[in-house]
Amino acid sequence: MSTTIKPIIIIGTGLAGYSLAKEIRKIQPQTPLVLISQDDAHFYSKPQLSTAIAQAKSPQQLIITNVADMRNQLQATIYDYTHVASIDLTAKTLIIEHKLGEDELSFSKLVFAIGASPKPFPLLKNIKNNYRVNSLQDYATFFDIFQQSENITIIGSGLVGCEFAFDFTNKGKQISVVTPDPHPLYNLVPANIGHALQSELAKLGINWYTNSHIESVDVKNSIALQLSSNNVLQANTILTAIGLHPNIALAKSANIQTGQGIVVDKYLQSPQEDVFAIGDCAQIEGICRQYVAPILQSARALAQTLCAKPTPVVFPPMPISLKVSRYPIIVYPPTHMMGNWTFEQYPDGIKALYYSQDGALEGYALSGSQLEHRQQCLKEVQTLVTF
């Protein structure tokens, strides 16, 4: 009597879910594989969402591979527009709800790749023209709204907020950025680089309201934002970019251990047997890593583990890039703030190096013309840091 092999089930079809599926297929072409998606399950590059307006790319043009081709490439079952209603870890089953009804699926191993959602902003919760762009569907909605908007206010000055602000320039819009921080990229770069970025973007017509937060909102013909700095901004549209929270509700409902994210070890395995997490939803040995490079590193390691070769994920130094051609920045933030920054300042860029107390390079931030030193800096920190 033949025994049906239970599949590996991956919940989520973003970069983490699809990268993991591709890595599994390199090792085991025949292992049954099921992916479950809340949306259309097309494969696209999420980082392009914050740079696509300038290129006038429609939502359709951002799709790299449609779901039908992904099914064929991966030889996998992919459920689109599907909700996971419940998970039974003891029976190793889950209930899914989709457009054709409800099904029970069995799994050998279960992987959460369910990403993260925008942090809430209660003051703007009921404002009609307040948008987040965290998915292709979000972008499709905002793409149409953007064309009709004259005044756009961006809340937040992190990587995404800055990339959107730059992306919107030269489009005939009035762009303002509101942030409680004293300069953009406040938690990533030294102050002089942050202020230099702000100055360069201001030359393109972007209005900055730093050290400011929204105190009240008045909605009439447009949106009036009363700031703590006593400024009042008029906006047709608000784009909120204040960071992400890992999606953990589904895991919590199944009594899977969560903290800030879904708790996993260096093998990306949760304390529950045969349950794993990867990507923006995962808290790996206490740390959430919401960038592309850690996801790709995790996918390679987890694929080996799921294919019977336990492999811990190892994160080498992975610099973070700001995609703003007017003033590009690459930063490798120091992990231990026990040393000092040194600076070389030039008219077209800044080279900032962070040295430990014993003189070892532990971090760096390069802007403008100084990006030419990125390989040299990366090579130097690679000899010291692997975690």
- pLDDT score recorded for residue 265: 98
* Pairing verdict, β 361-367 and 329-332: antiparallel
Q: Do 106 and 149 belong together in one domain? A: no
Owning domain of residue 333: 328-382
3-state helix, strand, coil in the chain (%, to 5): 25, 30, 40
Tokens (6 digits) for 354:
């962070």
- Please indicate, yes or no, whether residues 102 and 176 belong to a single structural domain of this protein: no
**281 and 136, same structural domain?**
no
* DSSP secondary structure letter of residue 156: -
- 142 and 185 in a common domain: yes
Q: Which amino acid is at 139?
A: Y
Euclidean distance between CA atoms 59 and 137, whole angstroms:
8
- Together in a domain, 164 and 200: yes
Residue 85 has what pLDDT?
A: 97
For residues 124 and 220, state if they share a domain. yes
The answer to the question of residue 322 being in a domain is: no
The reported pLDDT for the residue numbered 113 is: 98
- Looking at the DSSP bridge assignments, the partners of residue 34 are 9, 77
Rounded distance between C-alpha atoms, residue 44 and residue 35, angstroms:
16
Asked if residue 2 belongs to a domain, the reply is: no
φ and ψ of 376, to 5 deg: -65, -45
> Domain check: are 375 and 349 in the same one?
yes
Question: What's the confidence (pLDDT) of residue 44?
Answer: 96
CB atoms closer than 10 angstroms to residue 341 = 15
The answer to whether 57 and 78 have CB atoms below 8 angstroms apart is no
Together in a domain, 109 and 249 = yes
> CATH code at 203?
3.50.50.60
Q: What is the pLDDT of residue 384?
A: 53
Choosing from 190, 209, 240, the residue where a domain stops is 240
Instruction: Give the tokens for residue 71.
Output: 């099914």
Would residue 314 count as lying in a domain?
Answer: no
113 and 249 fall within a common domain:
yes
Same domain, 235 and 130: yes
- Domain boundary, last residue among 256, 271, 306: 306
How many whole angstroms from its chain centre is CA 369? 27
Count up the domains in the chain and report the number: 3
Question: What token pair was written down for 362?
Answer: 């532990």
The domain that holds 340 is classified in CATH as 3.30.390.120
Cα dihedral across residues 199, 204, 209, 213: positive or negative: negative
Q: Which residues contact 126 (CB under 8 A, 6 or more apart)?
A: none
Residues in the chain with pLDDT values less than 50: 1-2, 386-387
Burial of 129 (0-12, 13-18, 19+ CB in 10 A): middle
Is 127 inside any structural domain?
yes
Do 143 and 186 fall into the same domain?
Answer: yes
pLDDT for res 119: 93
Assigned token pair, 170: 């030269």
The amino acid that residue 263 corresponds to is V
pLDDT of residue 383: 65
214, 134: one domain = yes
Which pLDDT does position 3 carry in this prediction? 60
Q: What strands lie across the sheet with 93-98, from one edge to the other?
A: 83-88, 93-98, 101-106
Last residue of a domain, one of 240, 261, 287: 240
Answer yes or no: is 69 within a domain.
yes
Is 60 inside any structural domain? yes
